Structure 1
Amino acid sequence: MTLPNVEPRSLRAFDSAEIQQAVAQLRSRVTSGRRFLLGVAGSPGSGKSTFSACLAEALGSDAALVVPMDGFHLGNAIIDSTPLRQRKGAPDTFDVGGYLSLLQRLARRDEDVVYAPDFRRTLDEPVAASLAVPAAFPVIITEGNYLLNDGPRWQQVRAQLDEVWFIDTPHDMRLARLIERHMLFGMDRAAAEAWANGPDAANARLIEATRSRADRILPWL
């Protein structure tokens, strides 16, 4: 299995017996004519995007697509000059209503193609209608921080998902990845460490508190 921009250590972790069992059971649950919506949750830096890409590859290029929740970040034009700017990534900095509507459309599977937004880290902005989701794909993987959040609108999001898997990554590894990612996209080390230990850490505490609601908790390195 070869994926672009996926570190080899993550691919080896994907070969664990526990994850392989989860994939096999997912395949067995996908029935003809019915779309399966799988949520992948986890704290910032846990590797949700890499895991989701590996999972889609394992299921087959004609079977699964990844549609991230991050496409529903509020735009910087909305949050700049407000207190939300210093909490970007918190639950109330997402358009949860828009995300819910997208999931409902994807679950209905009655449109030839649904266009979904994506989040571009190089811009630090969501980009509308940049992911095409044809009706032919039986599995949609949506990854995001708050799929298990107990807020009323987030509970409606959870109700659209057939299962949610929680990605469990060691704290020190998550933190190192976050700092490296923030630096890659423009922060100096001091700012990256401050953000990872500040807003990211606050969000991680919220997310970790929801892990018991997941259908599966999968170790991931």
Structure 2
Amino acid sequence: MRLTTRELADRAAELAAEASRTGRARILGITGPPGAGKSTLAAALTEALGAGTAVVVGMDGFHLSNAVLEARGSRDRKGAVDTFDDAGYAALIDRIADHALDAPPLYAPEFRREIEEPVAAGTVVGAEPLVITEGNYLLVPDGAWPAARSRMAEVWYLDLPDAERLRRLVARHHAFGKPLPDAETWAAGSDQRNAELIATTRGAADLVVEWV
């Protein structure tokens, strides 16, 4: 389904209105393959909804650190489903779902692409009625991912034609320091294997959308 930012924001606003009535935050998940535009859409929704309505908590804050990945021999697969702390993510989503809007704030980690590492307590979850969480593996049926999914009001799967998605991925990797040949290899290799896994979860989404 092709939807505009305004149409998606209207749907997200309905979730925020529900939270305002119940006094507890509602969680909207946005998933899809690498390069589909998840973080960009999350930011666009936050802006469209207006100040104080939504906050973004990225799944990428639960990347295992480079040191841990190197110790495990997984550094060259960073971004694969088993290179995240899925139990930690599920625990945070559980806390957010139970968070009263008038309670003290919660803190969530965030991922900093400029250093390729997660940073603790980088995001403040306060009185916003809607929490938007975005990431690759929100609909994966294994591990602790289903526990996180069970606390989300809706999960949207963001679709994008592969050619454009790969173009964006290569550009992003290159912009954050990878030489162009390495960026192309990573996008077509590790990222693509992850994308193929994520594509199998598409049918479990509440909404499949091509954002225009």
TM-score, length-scaled by structure 2: 0.91
Report what 1:69 is aligned to. 59
Instruction: Tell me the residue number matched to 2:192.
Output: 201
2:154 pairs with one of 159, 163, 166: 163
What is the rounded CA distance, in whole Å, between the counterparts of 2:109 and 2:66 in structure 1? 15
User: What residue ranges of structure 2 are gaps of 5+ in the alignment?
Assistant: none
The answer to whether the 8 Å contact 2:38/2:135 transfers is yes
* Aligned residue identity for 1:85: R
How far does residue 82 in structure 1 lie from its aligned partner after superposition?
3.6
What code does the residue aligned with 1:180 have? A
- How many residues were matched structurally? 208
Opposite residue 108 of structure 2, the aligned amino acid is A
Q: Give deviations 1:48-90, integer Å, cap 9, x for gaps.
A: 0000011111222111100000000000010115431111101
Q: Is the 8 A contact 2:28 2:155 kept in 1?
A: yes
Q: Is residue 117 of structure 1 aligned with residue 106 of structure 2?
A: no
Shift in Å at residue 17 of structure 1?
7.2
Q: Give the whole-Å Cα distance in 1 for the aligned partners of 2:159 and 2:7.
A: 12
Give the RMSD, CA atoms, in angstroms. 1.9
Could you tell me whether the CA contact under 8 Å between 1:18 and 1:218 is conserved in 2?
Answer: no
* 2:118 alignment partner, one of 109, 121, 126: 126
Which AA in structure 2 matches 1:129?
A: A
Identity %: 47
Write the distance in 2 (CA, Å) between the matches of 1:155 and 1:165.
Answer: 15
- Aligned partner of residue 80 in structure 1, secondary structure: helix
The offset of 1:26, in angstroms, is 3.7
The letter for the 2-side match of 1:201 is: Q
The answer to whether 1:15 aligns with 2:7 is: no
Alpha-carbon distance, 1:15 to partner: 3.2
CA–CA distance in structure 1, aligned partners of residues 70 and 14 of structure 2: 44
Q: 2:39 aligns with which of 40, 49, 62?
A: 49
Q: Does 1:185 align with 2:176?
A: yes
> Which residue of the partner structure matches residue 210 of structure 1?
201
Question: Given the superposition, is the C-alpha separation of residues 20 and 37 from structure 1 closer, same or farther in structure 2, using an over 3 Å criterion?
Answer: closer
Deviation at 1:27, TM superposition (A): 5.0
- Which letter maps to 1:47? G
| 1:4 matched residue in structure 2 | none
Q: Is the 8 A contact 2:3 2:209 kept in 1?
A: no
Q: How do residues 58-97 of structure 1 correspond to structure 2 at under 5 angstroms?
A: 58-97=48-87
> How far apart are the structure 1 equivalents of 2:5 and 2:171?
26
SS in 2 for 1:187: coil
Gaps of 5+ in 1: 1-12
User: Does the aligned pair in 1 maintain the 2:5–2:211 contact within 8 Å?
Assistant: no
More deviation, 99-108/19-28: 19-28
What is the aligned partner in structure 2 of residue 10 from structure 1? none
Asked if the contact 2:29–2:155 (Cα under 8 Å) also holds between the matched residues in 1, the reply is: yes
TM-score (norm 1): 0.88
